[in-house]
Amino acid sequence: MSKTRTLAKEAAFKLLQSGQRPTAERVRAAIGQGAQQTILGALDEFWQEIGERLREPRLPDPLVEPVMTLWSQAVGTAASQWQTERKELEARIGALESREQTLTLELNEVTEARGRAETAAATAETLNAELQQELNEQRAERQTLQGEADRLSREATQTGELLKNERDARDRDQAAWLQQIDAARQATKTALAERDRLAKELNEAREARTRQEVLLAQADDRRKELTATLASRTQAFSAAQARAAAAERQAEDLDSQLERTSAIAEALKAQLRSGDETSKEMTERFDSLKLERERLVAENRTLRDELSVLRARREEFEISVQRALGQLERRVGPHAETEDDPAASPTLDRIPKT
């Protein structure tokens, strides 16, 4: 038997003597050591030994039954407490196992992190070696650049002397250039004055052209107005000429009718001479025909007078149109002759004549 089991049994017996129920926590607190399973096994053996002692025949008969009853109650109570404590212990064991799994996972993560850190450290060492090598190369390059800088400094000194000489020559050239610039400025001022004069003349020419365009527009409006008037009067004259032609044809018809009437009158006169019985009737008819002839002659004379008046008015209208067109051509000038459409301007040749 191990020492832990012996100590656990002794502690359980002392707890039982003090009136306390021996449990795994109390026993472990009393002895201060031992695993949970070992203490539980020792308690099982302790209760088994207590039972064997209680079954021994050394007890008096009157005490056997009370002791057995007490023992049964103690065993039942101990079993109930044992089940409760066992469930609690199993729950704690499950929690500890979960905690152990969590710690295992954390340990794995820490191990992986450590591996990554070691890898990073190795990489850093490699990088450090590369940087050290690069630093050595840069130092060598720096020495080379320092020598190059010294050489460039010497060349800069020489270049400064050359630049000073060039600057002196440039100052001399600049003085000559300034004189040329002054001369060019004077020439520019003269050219600007000439340009202003030409611009002024150009503005005056533009204003004159604008006035001429206004006059041309007015003349064109007047020409259009006269053209419209001429067209309307030409149309009226054509209508009057048509009426005059109709009147002339009517006059010719009246002349022919008058001739026929005269012939009839002569025939009637002959009949009057040959027949006395109808002389009075024929005389009246002759008088009526004579009156009709005089009326037709007067009407023909009136129509001829109207035709003469229309012809006189036509001649006056042609003269006024010719004067208006002459004034329009003098105002418009050659510019209007090139721009206007000759077919759009009516002339006297387009006016119908009788």
Q: Report the 10 Å Cβ neighbour count for 79.
A: 12
| Owner of token pair 């503005």 | 203
Q: Which helix (H) or strand (E) holds 107?
A: helix 61-274
Residue 233 lies in a domain: no
Residue 203 lies in a domain: no
Q: Which residues contact 345 (CB under 8 A, 6 or more apart)?
A: 223, 227, 325
Structure confidence at residue 168 as a pLDDT band (50, 70, 90): confident
Q: Which residues contact 81 (CB under 8 A, 6 or more apart)?
A: 21, 23
DSSP state of 351: S
CA distance 71 to 84: 20
Residue 257 lies in a domain: no
DSSP state of 276: S
For 218-238, what is the mean pLDDT?
77
CA distance 249 to 292: 18
Token output for 58: 């050394």
Residue 245 lies in a domain: no
For residues 338 and 155, the model is more confident at 155
Which of 259, 345, 354, 253 has its CA nearest to residue 307? Answer: 354
Indicate the residue type of 348: L
pLDDT tens string 37-88: 998 999 999 888 887 776 655 556 676 677 778 877 877 887 788 788 888 8
CA distance 126 to 119: 10
Determine the Cα angle at 242 with ends 241 and 243, to 5°.
Answer: 90
State the number of CA atoms in the 13 A half-sphere of 69 facing the CB.
4
Percent of the chain beyond pLDDT 70?
85
Structure confidence at residue 339 as a pLDDT band (50, 70, 90): very low
What pLDDT does residue 349 have?
47
What pLDDT does residue 61 have?
67
Residue 78 lies in a domain: yes
Residue 150 lies in a domain: no
For residues 36 and 268, the model is more confident at 36
Which of 226-235, 275-284, 316-325 has the largest mean confidence? 316-325
DSSP state of 345: S
Which of 327, 336, 334, 323 has its CA nearest to residue 217? Answer: 336
- The interaxial angle of helices 3-17 and 36-54, nearest 10 deg, is 60
Is the per-residue pLDDT at 266 higher than 70?
yes
Is the per-residue pLDDT at 352 higher than 60?
no
Is the per-residue pLDDT at 346 higher than 60?
no
Is the per-residue pLDDT at 317 higher than 80?
yes
Looking at the 3D structure of the chain, how many domains does it have? 1
For 319-341, what is the mean pLDDT?
69
Which of 238, 228, 218 has its CA nearest to residue 346? Answer: 228
Q: Which domain covers residue 85, as residue numbers?
A: 3-129
CA distance 16 to 7: 14
What pLDDT does residue 17 have?
86
What pLDDT does residue 276 have?
62
Instruction: Check: CB of residue 4 under 8 Å from CB of residue 42.
Output: yes
In the predicted model, what is the mean pLDDT of the chain? 79
CA distance 207 to 334: 20
* Least confidently predicted of 5-9, 67-71, 88-92, 193-197: 67-71
Q: Which helix (H) or strand (E) holds 304?
A: helix 279-339
Residue 296 lies in a domain: no
Categorise residue 32: left if φ over 0, alpha if ψ from -120 to 50, beta otherwise. left
Residue 58 lies in a domain: yes
Percent of the chain beyond pLDDT 90?
1
